[in-house]
Amino acid sequence: MLREAPDQFPTRRVLVAAILALALLAALIFATVSFRSGTPSDPGLVPTTELHESGPWTRGATEDTPGVLRPLTPTTDPETFARRVAAGLFDWDTASATSRNTYVERLVAVGDPSGESTPGLVADIAGYLPNDEAWRQLRSYSTRQRIEIDSLSVPTLWEQALREAGPDGLAPGTTAYTVTGVRHRAGIWESEPVTSSHDVAFTVFIVCGPTYTECHLLRLSRLDEPLD
């Protein structure tokens, strides 16, 4: 269950979205859906025919029952939380009974309990997941996806952002992690298994203790436009 923030931080909570938007304008924008509509051979929609071994797949690993995703496991460690958010964004399977909206809802469920960042977060997530039309097309090819994380680190510019925000600008425990990795996608094309891989990079903005007893997701940078 999401916990309410302590009463002594209402002003900071209200300022979170505004400060992030101003101090990190290049990284924090309202994303639009990045998946294109197009022909079945469009690599933005289905696996390409350029085969690439992408390692083992665990189908349905995030589902306890068909159509029901396991919630992201709570944690007080910001780096661990950033990794779980990355998996929540990139690990999905259109062949399962789980809908696209269920993946969105799971991420929103770990958002800032104050609700100040929720509208922006929903828009951010849209830039990572296929839209409804693309999801239906991907499902016809039994497409699934996962992320292999290569690195995770606090951006160099984050210290500048903190200085610009000032001592009362951001809630205590607010931080950012830039994630780099490889997006692996697999599916069935003309009755043959195909896979493709694509490098990705993005920044996760989160808030943990002492503001909250568990980490929560504030915003996401645009995909492939991380904070340096």
Instruction: Render pLDDT for 166-209 as a digit per residue (tens, 0 to 9).
Output: 877 899 999 999 999 999 999 998 889 999 999 999 999 999 99
Top-confidence residue, 67 or 214: 214
Residue 98 has pLDDT above 60, yes or no: yes
Residue 23 has pLDDT above 50, yes or no: no
CATH 3.40.630 fits 48-53+73-220, yes or no: no
Instruction: Render pLDDT for 101-120 as a digit per residue (tens, 0 to 9).
Output: 999 999 999 999 999 999 99
- Domain range list for the chain: 48-53+73-220
HEC secondary structure over the chain: CCCCCCCCCHHHHHHHHHHHHHHCCCCCCCCCCCCCCCCCCCCCCCCCCCCCCCCCCCCCCCEEECCEECCCCCCCCHHHHHHHHHHHHHCEECCCCCCHHHHHHHHHCCECCCCCCHHHHHHHHHCCCCCHHHHHHHHHCCCEEEEEEEEEECCCCHHHHHHHHCCCCCCCCEEEEEEEEEEEEEEEECCEEEEEEEEEEEEEEEECCCCCCCCEEEEECCCCCCCC
**What pLDDT, on a 0 to 100 scale, did the predictor assign at position 121?**
97
